[in-house]
Amino acid sequence: MTAQTWIFVGYFAVVFAIGWYSLRATKSEEDYWIAGGNLGWFAGGATMAATHTSAGTFVGTIGVMYTAGWSFGWVLLAIPLAYWFMVAVLAPRFTRQKELTIPAFIETRYYGKGIRGLAAAIILVATVVYVQAQIVAGGLIAHTVFGIPTTWGMIGFTSILLIYTVAGGMVAVVYTDAFQLVIMGLGAAFAVPLALRQVDGLDGLMTLVQSAHPLVFSWEAMPATLLLTMALSFFLGGIATPEKLIRLYAMKDMHTIRRGVLFAIVMILGINLLVFVLALTAIVLFPTLPTGDLAMPMVATAVLPATLGALMLAAITSAMMSTVDSLLIVAGSALSVDIYQNLINPGVTPGRRRWVDRGGIVVVGTIPVVLLLSGVGQGELIQFIVLLFTALMASAFVMPVVGGVLWRRATREGAIASMVGGVTATFLWEALGPPSIEPVVAGFLTSAVLFVGVSLMSPPPPAAALEPYFDSPTPRGASS
């Protein structure tokens, strides 16, 4: 076997070993969905950073920068601001009462099972959109490494993810994320100096990249309105995406959350900076690629030595897997806990719950592959698929979650109107609106107006819905 093959075999062996360990360590439904709610700062921060660092970073960000230049890098400064807001404003009240899922929080705060089902359905639809982007990138990597058709690469990538995620739940996800974060960091750190050597160092890169792409350091390659609204999408989506919010429940207390999120911010910014440099090198070395999403695989295979190139491809694979496994946990819990156990069959036995939980993950992991094989969702730059998912999450959950723990007057009716209106406006803008403005603008503004307006026009919420978040000073135990 080649060096590339050996590295990937070793990588997947470690992932499967973690999955097997996690299967044995998972004793309860709380373990399966939020890792027992007792993660320390390193594990919690590592899984948050790894979840954020997806194909959108290693393939998508490089793809957009390859096409549009350095200006896109400034957009990502919205991400640390989102994490700061999450810790400083949202988390102190949001985590007073731990839940197993974000829709369970919606039910507690907005006093209704129906609205919990609505939140779960939105998560399922948006997750399918996002997971498709990661699976496409997985197929590209498998084709690059093993020479197999992209379609078979997508199927194989998804199968591996399902095996360890279904086996170990959140425990498996947390520890594979920590391992994958190490691989991502090492891959990027080794790749940058070797790539710079091909372009006569950093000074040579600055000169050559301007010749290859004259607009690379200007604000002219992409409309300013698009850049600003992309930043808004990343900020709002960073606050309210369920796969990040659920990690606040998984960490044991606010002190741990603060340290863990700070660690995540440092790792995310460091990896992104390295990725920016690799994007500029790709512009110089491969100026005529048919799509920017091929830039990173080309750097890994054509620039780096075989062993380090394989490590870089493993880092990209880690980025994809660490995000998809987290999304599978969130979407799987939405299907099995929030929809099946909460609405369809509340009397399901504890023994059957384990099968239902695992079956939910299998279902939500299979649907994106089936859609891709049917031709749905192919052809877009990966980062733009990621942005659509982020816009959907921002439009659906920022107001109900953030407003729910900061504003006593928020009502069930306002939250329902906000979620439905925000998601509808996002899809309509994506289909009909001008491409120079991200759909998050229409979605979030619609969501905010409906949330406030309908809440003020409907009866005030009952005291029982407010007590966990406004009157209780200490964390409570997890509930389903």
CATH code of the domain in which 7 resides = 1.20.1730.10
To 10 degrees, what angle do helices 224-240 and 440-457 make? 50
Please tell me the distance from the alpha carbon of residue 476 to that of residue 95, in angstroms, as a whole number: 8
pLDDT greater than 60 at residue 377: no
Domain enclosing residue 271, as ranges: 3-479
DSSP state of 474: S
- Residue 461 has a pLDDT of 95
Task: Say yes or no to pLDDT of 476 above 60.
Answer: no
* pLDDT band at residue 104 under the 50/70/90 scheme: very high
- pLDDT reading at 382 higher than 70: no
- Place 349 in a pLDDT band, splitting at 50, 70 and 90: confident
What is the sign of the dihedral through the CA atoms of 102, 56, 79 and 190? positive
CA distances from 119 to 204, 250, 358, 460 (A): 51, 20, 20, 21
CB 69 within 8 A of CB 216: yes
Q: Above pLDDT 90, what percent of the chain? A: 29
pLDDT tens-digit series, residues 161-217 = 888 888 888 888 888 888 888 888 888 888 888 888 888 888 888 888 888 888 788
List the beta strands (DSSP E) in 162-287.
Answer: none
Average pLDDT over residues 44-58: 80
- Predicted confidence (pLDDT) at residue 472 exceeds the cutoff of 70: no
- The pTM (predicted TM-score) of the whole model is 0.84
Q: Are 197 and 191 in contact, with CB atoms under 8 Å apart? A: no
∠ at Cα 159 (49, 378), nearest 5°?
75
Amino acid type, 313: L
pLDDT value of position 240: 81
Q: Is the pLDDT of residue 134 over 80?
A: no
* Least confident segment among 105-109, 127-131, 366-370: 127-131
Contacts of 29 (CB under 8 A, 6+ apart): 100, 337, 350, 353, 354, 357, 480
Largest CA distance in the chain: 68
Range of lowest pLDDT (38-42, 171-175, 307-311, 381-385): 381-385
Question: For the residues 279-295, what does the mean pLDDT come to?
Answer: 81
Q: Which of the pair, 7 or 430, is modelled with greater confidence? A: 430
CA atoms within 13 A on the CB side of 207: 6
Mean pLDDT along residues 372-389: 66
- Our count of domains for the chain comes to 1
Mean pLDDT of 210-238: 83
The residues that bridge with 476 in the sheet, in sequence order, are 97
